[in-house]
Amino acid sequence: MALNLRQKQMSLIVRMLNLNQPSNRGGGISSDTAVAAEEVYKILIMDAFCLGILSPLIHVNDLRKHGITLFFPIDKSRQTVPDVPAIYFVRPTPENVDRIAADADRGLYESFHLNFSASLPRPLLETLAFKTLEKDAVHRISKIHDQYLEFVTLEDTLFSLAQPKAYVQINDPSAGDREIEEIVEKIVSGLFCVLSTLGVVPVIRCARGGPAEMVASALDSRIRDHLVIKNNLFSESGVLASSFQRPLLCIFDRNFELAVGIQHDWSYRPLVHDVLGMKLNRVTMPAEKAAAKSYELDVSDSFWDSNSWSPFQKVAEEIETQLSKYKQDVDEVNKRTGGKDGVEFDGTDLIGNTKHLMNAVNSLPELTERKKMIDKHTNIATVLLGEIKERSLDGYCTLENDLLTKGSVDKSQLLSLLKGKGTKVDKIRLAITYLLSLETTPQSEVEPIEAALRESDVDTCAFQYVKKIKSLNASLAASASSASRSNIVDWAEKLYGQSISAVTAGMKNLLSGGRQLALTRTVEALMEGKPNPEVDSYLVFDPRAPRSGSGAQLRGPFKEAIVFMIGGGNYVEYRSLMELAQRSQPVKHVIYGTTEVLNGAEFIEQLTELGQKMGLGSSGMGPSQ
């Protein structure tokens, strides 16, 4: 059983768009209701979050195939559309419930099919019932469904809970127990949605202490409580319930491997995400005068699918190759039809015999699509190249790679880059990567770096925050062997748990063994399930086992894993895990998920905010500058 999250979520959304009629195996609706459903035209109402869920999965044209003629945001004023059913797909919030009740009161639509992205809490259900009864509008509410779809699937094996600033919320020194419990509950709710969509009850592994254990423990309890229900969300997968095919869920905290979220990368996909800010598989090109162009980058783009993990220079070469091949094919068509060599193929000069003419006409759509794809990636690569030259991004990538693999670089080269080209965020990212590569942080080593940052007028809050983590880590390590623990160490352990020591420990082996990340190596060890000093201390939670059971009998080997990163993930980790899955014999299946997908600049913003909350570093200089 391959866990295809995108396919599973898509089938549930298609079912929802067809008024929750049962789907057949082909992905459509059952034959009994097919004719009726085809004749039903519907309106789709969404909030911003649920629009984000749909965006990477389904295009506007695809909505029309399912009878959706119009779609509106729930928070905008809308006119009455009589005799048409409305499908609501929204989060279960008090604001959305109030708007639905108001819409029903006004009789905006013939019937209301309510779909909540997660479970609708009982108090909100009662509020909805009370308000619709009070306004005599309850008859308009046709059905209410909890869809458990509160996550964004970007690819078959990549998802995000779209929970911004989770890293700040979890690591905020001023956060109380209640705030921490709230963010943990949000993460657990999102993960529960993912697991129920997949229909699997995993064996959960995590390191002791910190946010990872909090989430794992709460998720274990949530699944246990749900499994008591007779017809639960996992009952359809009963055949797999107790078999060895159950997947492993590995939960990590971002501090486990901090540098991966900060470093520059030379591959096409991370570069596009980093430089152009790709969101929901869409990138908007910078434009000064003309209207900004927006491109979709997903599996429907064959060039992106084949080349997005290649180094940038290889991508540039491949664009040239594709362009040359396109021109050859155009020339070939022109020759066969009597057109002129080198003329853009637009179908206007087609002459010659009927056979060649028909072949040329048939090849026109394919050639046109190829040209559009080549133009798209030429435009993207041109903008990237401009940024690479202007910011010397190749220099940053090379230097950071040396730091993470060799542990040292030429200090003069480092200082030269910090004082030279690059944005302020580029410089702070390099400085933090250097800081994390040091086993110890003597002031004599750090002072020249701080001076270079000040000279370039860079906000050092993020740098000082990471430096503080490292000093707390040293304190924690020193006091671990003694019986007494100081207050600051108690505070540090409460805040960071296991992760604080991993900040540096993970760095030493960060890219050892052929650029394999510490995260990937740990996941591989957990999936193998053999005795291993790196993971033997990891906790095991099995929601299907008795609470008193240890779960040791379920330690592997596992063919499938879901790896979840609390506090922000990135494409570098995603690539590393996909490479692990492919090189394994037999091939393993790994899904990567995170609270949000962050590029280096966005992660630096969160580190800066934490530095400011702790009163560290300089202030007044935004990280985006």
541-580 pLDDT, tens digit each: 999 888 765 554 556 689 999 999 999 999 999 999 999 9
Are residues 398 and 387 part of one domain? no
Q: Which CATH number goes with the domain that contains 295?
A: 3.90.830.10
Q: Say what the pLDDT of residue 39 is.
A: 60
| Residue 288, φ and ψ in degrees, nearest 5 | -90, -50
Domain boundary among 150, 173, 195: 150
Look up residue 82 and give its two tokens.
Answer: 């009589």
* Averaged pLDDT, 115-127: 95
Q: Which CATH number goes with the domain that contains 113?
A: 3.40.50.2060
- For 322-361, the pLDDT digits (tens) are 999 999 888 887 777 665 555 565 555 444 456 666 666 6
Measuring CA to CA, how many Å separate 433 from each of 200, 396, 428? 38, 10, 9
Cα angle for residues 92, 96, 99 (degrees, 5° grid): 150
Q: Does residue 622 lie within any of the structural domains?
A: no
Are residues 123 and 10 part of one domain? yes
Whole-number mean pLDDT of the chain?
A: 84
pLDDT for 625 beyond 60: no
pLDDT for 285 beyond 60: yes
Cα angle for residues 225, 226, 228 (degrees, 5° grid): 75
Are residues 199 and 81 part of one domain? no
Number of domains making up the chain: 4
pLDDT for 223 beyond 60: yes
Residue 286 CB contacts under 8 Å (≥ 6 apart), including other chains: 276, 292, 383
Question: Measured between alpha carbons, how far is 118 from 189 in angstroms, rounded to an integer?
Answer: 8
Residue 186 CB contacts under 8 Å (≥ 6 apart), including other chains: 161, 163
Question: Measured between alpha carbons, how far is 115 from 211 in angstroms, rounded to an integer?
Answer: 31
- For 365-391, the pLDDT digits (tens) are 888 888 999 999 999 999 999 999 999
Question: Measured between alpha carbons, how far is 486 from 493 in angstroms, rounded to an integer?
Answer: 11
Question: Residue 68 belongs to what domain range?
Answer: 5-22+37-150
Q: Say what the pLDDT of residue 477 is.
A: 58
Q: Say what the pLDDT of residue 497 is.
A: 43
Question: How much of the chain is helix, strand and coil, in % rounded to 5?
Answer: 55, 10, 35
Write out the E strands in 302-389: none
| Higher pLDDT, residue 55 or 617 | 55
Q: Does residue 470 lie within any of the structural domains?
A: yes
Are residues 145 and 14 part of one domain? yes
| Residue 475, φ and ψ in degrees, nearest 5 | -65, -40
Q: Say what the pLDDT of residue 343 is.
A: 55
SS3 state at 11: helix
Q: Say what the pLDDT of residue 366 is.
A: 82
User: Which range is least confidently modeled, 57-71, 134-148, 221-235, 279-293?
Assistant: 279-293
Are residues 101 and 135 part of one domain? yes
In the block, tokens 């509410």 appear at 141
Q: Say what the pLDDT of residue 350 is.
A: 45
Question: Measured between alpha carbons, how far is 485 from 487 in angstroms, rounded to an integer?
Answer: 7
Are residues 302 and 206 part of one domain? no
Question: Measured between alpha carbons, how far is 291 from 617 in angstroms, rounded to an integer?
Answer: 39
CB-based contacts of 100-106 (< 8 A; 24+ apart in sequence): 100/74, 100/128, 101/127, 101/128, 101/131, 101/132, 101/135, 101/137, 103/45, 103/78, 104/132, 104/135, 104/137, 104/138, 104/140, 104/141, 105/131, 105/132, 105/135, 105/137, 106/80
Selection from 211, 188, 192, 189 nearest residue 201 by Cα:
192
| Residue 112, φ and ψ in degrees, nearest 5 | -120, 115
Question: Measured between alpha carbons, how far is 138 from 471 in angstroms, rounded to an integer?
Answer: 60
Are residues 227 and 334 part of one domain? no
Are residues 311 and 189 part of one domain? no
Q: Say what the pLDDT of residue 596 is.
A: 97
Measuring CA to CA, how many Å separate 290 from each of 284, 286, 382, 453, 461? 13, 10, 17, 36, 37
Helix 122-134, helix 94-106: angle, nearest 10: 20
Alpha helices by DSSP H, listed for 18-92, are 31-38, 48-54, 60-65
> Which amino acid is it at 98?
D
* Averaged pLDDT, 241-268: 85
DSSP state of 598: -
Q: Say what the pLDDT of residue 486 is.
A: 41
User: Which range is least confidently modeled, 28-32, 394-398, 576-580?
Assistant: 28-32
For the whole model, what pTM was predicted? 0.87
Burial letters for 258-277: b for 16+ Cβ neighbours within 10 Å, e otherwise?
Answer: bbbbbbbbbbbbbbbbbbbe
Specify burial of residue 195 (Cβ count, 10 A radius: 0-12, 13-18, 19+): buried
Q: Does residue 424 lie within any of the structural domains?
A: yes
Look up residue 54 and give its two tokens.
Answer: 């749909």
Torsion of CA 573, 576, 580, 581, to 10 degrees: 70
| Higher pLDDT, residue 488 or 109 | 109
Look up residue 465 and give its two tokens.
Answer: 């925050």
Model confidence at 363, in pLDDT bands (50, 70, 90)?
A: confident
- For 435-459, the pLDDT digits (tens) are 988 877 778 888 999 999 999 999 9
Are residues 399 and 305 part of one domain? no
- For 128-170, the pLDDT digits (tens) are 999 999 999 999 999 999 999 999 999 999 999 999 999 999 9
Q: Does residue 268 lie within any of the structural domains?
A: no
Are residues 167 and 100 part of one domain? no
Cα angle for residues 139, 144, 149 (degrees, 5° grid): 155
Residue 246 CB contacts under 8 Å (≥ 6 apart), including other chains: 200, 201, 202, 203, 240, 554, 558
Question: Alpha carbon 269 to chain centroid distance?
Answer: 13
Q: Say what the pLDDT of residue 549 is.
A: 57
Percent of the chain residues topping a pLDDT of 70:
81
User: Which range is least confidently modeled, 177-186, 217-226, 264-273, 467-476?
Assistant: 467-476
Look up residue 612 and give its two tokens.
Answer: 């400011």
Q: Say what the pLDDT of residue 318 is.
A: 95
Selection from 225, 222, 270, 226 nearest residue 249 by Cα:
222
Measuring CA to CA, how many Å separate 138 from each of 123, 156, 468? 17, 39, 57
| Higher pLDDT, residue 620 or 516 | 516
Q: Say what the pLDDT of residue 164 is.
A: 95
Domain boundary among 90, 123, 150: 150
Q: Say what the pLDDT of residue 474 is.
A: 67
Question: Measured between alpha carbons, how far is 433 from 400 in angstroms, rounded to an integer?
Answer: 7
Are 135 and 101 spatial neighbours (Cβ–Cβ below 8 Å)? yes
Q: Does residue 32 lie within any of the structural domains?
A: no
Specify burial of residue 49 (Cβ count, 10 A radius: 0-12, 13-18, 19+): middle
Are 131 and 95 spatial neighbours (Cβ–Cβ below 8 Å)? no
Q: Which CATH number goes with the domain that contains 191?
A: 3.40.50.1910
Q: Does residue 216 lie within any of the structural domains?
A: yes
Look up residue 153 and give its two tokens.
Answer: 């699937």
Specify burial of residue 516 (Cβ count, 10 A radius: 0-12, 13-18, 19+): middle
Are residues 283 and 212 part of one domain? no
pLDDT for 532 beyond 50: yes
Give bridge partners of residue 68 from the DSSP assignment: 42
SS3 state at 193: helix
Are 433 and 259 spatial neighbours (Cβ–Cβ below 8 Å)? yes
Question: Measured between alpha carbons, how far is 205 from 191 in angstroms, rounded to an integer?
Answer: 14
Q: Does residue 357 lie within any of the structural domains?
A: yes
Measuring CA to CA, how many Å separate 14 from each of 26, 217, 340, 516? 11, 33, 48, 39
Percent of the chain residues topping a pLDDT of 90:
60
Q: Say what the pLDDT of residue 545 is.
A: 86
Residue 369: how many other CB atoms lie within 10 Å? 11
pLDDT for 253 beyond 90: yes
| Higher pLDDT, residue 490 or 279 | 279
Q: Say what the pLDDT of residue 29 is.
A: 43
Q: Say what the pLDDT of residue 149 is.
A: 96
Domain boundary among 131, 150, 169: 150
Are residues 433 and 358 part of one domain? no
Q: Say what the pLDDT of residue 550 is.
A: 52
Model confidence at 270, in pLDDT bands (50, 70, 90)?
A: very high
pLDDT for 273 beyond 90: yes
Q: Say what the pLDDT of residue 289 is.
A: 59
Q: Does residue 621 lie within any of the structural domains?
A: no
